[in-house]
Amino acid sequence: MAKHQPPPSNEAEGNRRRFDPSFKHEAVALGKRIGIPQAARDLDINETNLRNWSQAVADRGSQAFAPVSQRTDVDSELRRLREEVRVLKMERDILKKAAAFFAKENA
């Protein structure tokens, strides 16, 4: 596994440590082999981070840590469709309320 040299600890100043994608993939692989809690302790990272990384790899595979600009067309299509579903649900809810309002008014 490639060694990760964390920057000097500035966490007291509010700076966050950054991990490159290859480190994250290797950390997830180690977590699968020896367990997430032990891997997190061995790598000196937060267990929650490692669990989140593992979930990202399970959901998106090799694209898990790719920058938005490098994600596949499938990811961008999925984001577009989810946004469209959100808008359609909002429109449907508005129409339901309007129908109930006019039904009540005519009764």
Question: Which of 43-47, 53-57, 70-74, 77-81 has the lowest average pLDDT?
Answer: 70-74
What pLDDT score does 88 carry? 97
pLDDT of residue 105: 82
Q: Each residue of 65-94: b (16+ CB within 10 Å) or e? A: beeeeeeeeeeeeeeeeeeeeeeeeeeeee
pTM passes above 0.75: no
**Secondary structure, 3-state, the chain:** CCCCCCCCCCHHHCCCCCCCHHHHHHHHHHHHHHCHHHHHHHHCCCHHHHHHHHHHHHHHHHHCCCCHHHCCHHHHHHHHHHHHHHHHHHHHHHHHHHHHHHHHHHC
> If you average pLDDT over every residue of the chain, what do you get?
85
Give pLDDT, residue 59: 86
As a whole-number percent, the residues of the chain with pLDDT over 90 amount to 55
> Is the predicted pLDDT of residue 23 greater than 80, yes or no?
yes
- CA dihedral (78, 80, 86, 92) in degrees, to 10, reads -110
